[in-house]
Protein backbone atom coordinates (compact mmCIF):
# COMPACT_ATOMS: atom_id res chain seq x y z
CA UNK A 1 0.00 0.00 0.00
CA UNK A 2 1.42 3.35 -1.09
CA UNK A 3 0.99 6.01 1.60
CA UNK A 4 1.59 8.79 -0.87
CA UNK A 5 0.10 8.69 -4.36
CA UNK A 6 1.59 10.73 -7.13
CA UNK A 7 -0.01 11.55 -10.44
CA UNK A 8 0.62 11.28 -13.22
CA UNK A 9 3.08 8.39 -13.11
CA UNK A 10 4.56 9.28 -16.49
CA UNK A 11 4.60 12.55 -18.38
CA UNK A 12 6.17 13.23 -21.76
CA UNK A 13 5.91 16.82 -23.00
CA UNK A 14 7.53 19.23 -25.42
CA UNK A 15 9.96 21.89 -24.32
CA UNK A 16 8.13 25.07 -23.34
CA UNK A 17 4.98 23.38 -22.05
CA UNK A 18 3.68 23.71 -18.50
CA UNK A 19 2.90 20.77 -16.22
CA UNK A 20 1.65 19.95 -12.74
CA UNK A 21 2.44 16.91 -10.62
CA UNK A 22 0.26 15.97 -7.65
CA UNK A 23 1.07 14.20 -4.40
CA UNK A 24 -1.88 13.02 -2.29
CA UNK A 25 -2.41 11.12 0.92
CA UNK A 26 -5.07 10.49 3.53
CA UNK A 27 -2.48 11.19 6.24
CA UNK A 28 -1.36 14.49 7.70
CA UNK A 29 2.35 15.26 7.41
CA UNK A 30 4.62 17.31 9.62
CA UNK A 31 6.47 18.30 6.45
CA UNK A 32 6.63 17.39 2.80
CA UNK A 33 9.64 17.40 0.53
CA UNK A 34 10.05 17.24 -3.24
CA UNK A 35 13.10 15.54 -4.72
CA UNK A 36 14.38 15.02 -8.25
CA UNK A 37 16.35 11.91 -9.12
CA UNK A 38 18.53 11.30 -12.16
CA UNK A 39 19.19 7.71 -13.33
CA UNK A 40 21.84 5.99 -11.20
CA UNK A 41 21.95 8.82 -8.66
CA UNK A 42 20.35 9.51 -5.29
CA UNK A 43 17.38 11.88 -4.95
CA UNK A 44 18.28 15.57 -4.63
CA UNK A 45 16.13 17.85 -2.49
CA UNK A 46 14.25 20.58 -4.36
CA UNK A 47 12.09 22.09 -1.62
CA UNK A 48 10.52 21.51 1.78
CA UNK A 49 7.09 22.77 2.79
CA UNK A 50 5.88 22.72 6.39
CA UNK A 51 2.91 25.07 6.74
CA UNK A 52 -0.57 24.30 5.38
CA UNK A 53 -1.28 26.50 2.37
CA UNK A 54 2.39 27.33 1.90
CA UNK A 55 3.60 28.21 -1.60
CA UNK A 56 7.28 28.19 -2.53
CA UNK A 57 8.90 29.15 -5.82
CA UNK A 58 12.21 27.92 -7.15
CA UNK A 59 12.85 29.63 -10.51
CA UNK A 60 10.31 27.97 -12.87
CA UNK A 61 9.09 25.52 -10.21
CA UNK A 62 6.18 26.35 -7.89
CA UNK A 63 5.38 24.10 -4.92
CA UNK A 64 2.20 24.19 -2.88
CA UNK A 65 1.27 22.43 0.35
CA UNK A 66 -2.42 21.77 0.92
CA UNK A 67 -4.23 23.59 3.72
CA UNK A 68 -4.76 20.30 5.59
CA UNK A 69 -1.13 19.21 5.02
CA UNK A 70 -2.24 16.03 3.25
CA UNK A 71 -1.37 16.93 -0.33
CA UNK A 72 1.03 18.93 -2.42
CA UNK A 73 1.59 19.97 -6.01
CA UNK A 74 4.58 20.83 -8.16
CA UNK A 75 4.05 23.11 -11.15
CA UNK A 76 6.75 23.63 -13.76
CA UNK A 77 6.45 26.55 -16.16
CA UNK A 78 8.05 26.41 -19.61
CA UNK A 79 9.64 22.99 -19.06
CA UNK A 80 13.15 22.42 -20.41
CA UNK A 81 14.97 19.17 -21.29
CA UNK A 82 17.09 19.67 -18.16
CA UNK A 83 13.94 19.18 -16.08
CA UNK A 84 13.79 15.53 -17.20
CA UNK A 85 13.97 13.11 -14.28
CA UNK A 86 12.03 11.24 -11.63
CA UNK A 87 10.14 13.58 -9.30
CA UNK A 88 9.43 12.23 -5.83
CA UNK A 89 7.43 13.65 -2.98
CA UNK A 90 8.26 12.49 0.53
CA UNK A 91 6.12 12.92 3.62
CA UNK A 92 7.53 13.23 7.09
CA UNK A 93 5.41 11.55 9.80
CA UNK A 94 7.76 12.52 12.54
CA UNK A 95 11.23 13.94 12.48
CA UNK A 96 12.86 10.70 11.40
CA UNK A 97 10.37 8.70 9.35
CA UNK A 98 10.01 9.64 5.71
CA UNK A 99 7.99 7.81 3.09
CA UNK A 100 8.16 8.45 -0.62
CA UNK A 101 5.38 8.84 -3.12
CA UNK A 102 5.04 6.57 -6.12
CA UNK A 103 7.06 8.95 -8.31
CA UNK A 104 6.45 10.86 -11.55
CA UNK A 105 8.79 10.20 -14.45
CA UNK A 106 9.04 13.36 -16.55
CA UNK A 107 10.53 13.49 -20.03
CA UNK A 108 10.86 16.88 -21.70
CA UNK A 109 11.57 16.63 -25.41
CA UNK A 110 13.54 19.35 -27.17
CA UNK B 1 30.91 19.26 3.64
CA UNK B 2 27.36 18.50 2.62
CA UNK B 3 27.87 15.08 1.06
CA UNK B 4 26.87 11.56 1.85
CA UNK B 5 29.41 9.14 0.38
CA UNK B 6 28.51 5.56 -0.48
CA UNK B 7 30.86 2.73 -1.45
CA UNK B 8 31.06 0.72 -3.55
CA UNK B 9 29.12 2.34 -6.38
CA UNK B 10 28.54 -1.06 -8.00
CA UNK B 11 28.59 -4.52 -6.41
CA UNK B 12 27.99 -7.92 -7.97
CA UNK B 13 27.70 -10.87 -5.61
CA UNK B 14 26.62 -14.47 -5.59
CA UNK B 15 23.90 -15.81 -3.35
CA UNK B 16 26.44 -17.40 -0.98
CA UNK B 17 28.69 -14.35 -0.66
CA UNK B 18 29.03 -11.99 2.28
CA UNK B 19 29.57 -8.34 1.39
CA UNK B 20 29.01 -4.92 2.92
CA UNK B 21 27.82 -1.54 1.74
CA UNK B 22 29.30 1.53 3.41
CA UNK B 23 28.02 5.06 3.96
CA UNK B 24 29.76 8.07 5.47
CA UNK B 25 28.65 11.62 6.27
CA UNK B 26 30.39 14.50 8.05
CA UNK B 27 27.49 16.91 8.41
CA UNK B 28 26.98 16.17 12.09
CA UNK B 29 23.68 14.43 11.34
CA UNK B 30 22.63 12.01 14.05
CA UNK B 31 20.02 10.11 12.00
CA UNK B 32 21.06 7.78 9.19
CA UNK B 33 18.91 5.71 6.87
CA UNK B 34 19.00 2.84 4.42
CA UNK B 35 16.53 2.84 1.54
CA UNK B 36 16.12 0.23 -1.20
CA UNK B 37 15.05 1.31 -4.68
CA UNK B 38 14.01 -1.03 -7.46
CA UNK B 39 14.02 0.13 -11.07
CA UNK B 40 11.32 2.72 -11.86
CA UNK B 41 10.04 2.60 -8.25
CA UNK B 42 10.35 5.05 -5.36
CA UNK B 43 12.81 4.43 -2.51
CA UNK B 44 11.50 2.11 0.23
CA UNK B 45 12.56 2.68 3.81
CA UNK B 46 14.56 -0.19 5.34
CA UNK B 47 16.28 1.03 8.52
CA UNK B 48 16.72 4.20 10.56
CA UNK B 49 19.46 4.83 13.11
CA UNK B 50 19.08 7.60 15.68
CA UNK B 51 22.07 8.45 17.84
CA UNK B 52 23.80 5.30 16.53
CA UNK B 53 20.93 3.08 17.74
CA UNK B 54 18.53 1.23 15.47
CA UNK B 55 15.20 3.01 15.85
CA UNK B 56 13.23 1.73 12.86
CA UNK B 57 13.36 -1.64 11.07
CA UNK B 58 10.69 -1.89 8.39
CA UNK B 59 10.41 -5.69 8.70
CA UNK B 60 13.52 -6.20 6.58
CA UNK B 61 14.71 -9.84 6.15
CA UNK B 62 17.61 -10.82 8.41
CA UNK B 63 19.90 -11.38 5.41
CA UNK B 64 20.29 -7.58 5.59
CA UNK B 65 22.13 -6.53 8.75
CA UNK B 66 22.69 -2.83 9.45
CA UNK B 67 25.41 -1.46 11.66
CA UNK B 68 26.23 2.07 12.83
CA UNK B 69 29.80 2.03 14.27
CA UNK B 70 29.80 5.77 15.01
CA UNK B 71 27.88 8.94 14.22
CA UNK B 72 29.49 9.29 10.78
CA UNK B 73 29.36 5.74 9.47
CA UNK B 74 26.59 3.38 8.47
CA UNK B 75 27.08 -0.11 7.07
CA UNK B 76 24.75 -2.63 5.54
CA UNK B 77 26.00 -6.22 5.77
CA UNK B 78 24.68 -8.59 3.13
CA UNK B 79 24.57 -12.37 3.41
CA UNK B 80 22.75 -15.09 1.48
CA UNK B 81 20.91 -12.61 -0.70
CA UNK B 82 18.45 -13.53 -3.42
CA UNK B 83 18.40 -12.26 -7.03
CA UNK B 84 15.27 -10.24 -6.19
CA UNK B 85 17.39 -8.22 -3.74
CA UNK B 86 19.15 -6.64 -6.70
CA UNK B 87 18.46 -2.91 -6.46
CA UNK B 88 19.93 0.53 -5.81
CA UNK B 89 20.65 0.90 -2.09
CA UNK B 90 20.51 4.47 -0.92
CA UNK B 91 21.96 5.87 2.28
CA UNK B 92 20.66 9.14 3.69
CA UNK B 93 21.21 11.27 6.76
CA UNK B 94 19.32 14.01 8.54
CA UNK B 95 19.27 16.08 11.67
CA UNK B 96 17.56 14.54 14.68
CA UNK B 97 14.54 16.36 16.03
CA UNK B 98 13.81 20.03 15.70
CA UNK B 99 13.88 21.80 12.40
CA UNK B 100 16.71 22.50 10.03
CA UNK B 101 17.49 25.78 8.29
CA UNK B 102 14.68 25.19 5.78
CA UNK B 103 12.12 24.88 8.55
CA UNK B 104 11.85 21.10 8.53
CA UNK B 105 13.97 18.04 8.84
CA UNK B 106 15.12 16.81 5.42
CA UNK B 107 17.08 13.89 4.00
CA UNK B 108 20.46 14.20 2.27
CA UNK B 109 21.12 11.20 0.03
CA UNK B 110 24.22 9.52 -1.24
CA UNK B 111 24.53 8.48 -4.89
CA UNK B 112 23.66 4.90 -4.03
CA UNK B 113 25.23 1.46 -4.39
CA UNK B 114 23.95 -0.57 -7.33
CA UNK B 115 23.74 -4.20 -6.15
CA UNK B 116 23.36 -7.17 -8.48
CA UNK B 117 22.83 -10.62 -6.97
CA UNK B 118 23.53 -13.50 -9.33
Is the minimum CB–CB distance between B96 and chain A shorter than 8 Å?
yes
pLDDT digits (tens, 9 = 90+) for B76-97: 999 999 999 999 999 999 887 6
Q: Do A95 and B98 touch (CB under 8 A)?
A: yes
Distances (CA, A) of B18 to A7, B52, B80, B96, B116: 39, 23, 7, 31, 13
pLDDT value of residue A66: 92
Q: Nearest Cβ partner of A41 from B48, B104, B111? A: B111
pLDDT value of residue A73: 96
pLDDT value of residue A97: 78
Q: Is the pLDDT of residue B75 over 90?
A: yes
Q: Do B114 and A40 touch (CB under 8 A)?
A: yes
Is the minimum CB–CB distance between B15 and chain A shorter than 8 Å?
no
Q: Could you give the dihedral angle defined by the CA atoms of residues A3, B87, B76 and A48, in that order, rounded to the nearest 10 degrees? A: -40
Q: Which residues of A touch B (CB under 8 A)?
A: 30-31, 33, 35, 40-45, 48-50, 88, 90, 92, 95-103, 105
The alpha-carbon gap from A17 to the nearest alpha carbon of chain B, in Å, equals 24
pLDDT value of residue B2: 61
Amino acid sequence: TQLLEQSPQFLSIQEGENLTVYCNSSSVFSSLQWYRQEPGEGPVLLVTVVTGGEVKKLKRLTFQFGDARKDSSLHITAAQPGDTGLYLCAGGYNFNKFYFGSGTKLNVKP
Amino acid sequence: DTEVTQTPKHLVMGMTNKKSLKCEQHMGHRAMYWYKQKAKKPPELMFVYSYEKLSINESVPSRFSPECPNSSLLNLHLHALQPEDSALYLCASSRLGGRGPSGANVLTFGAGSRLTVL
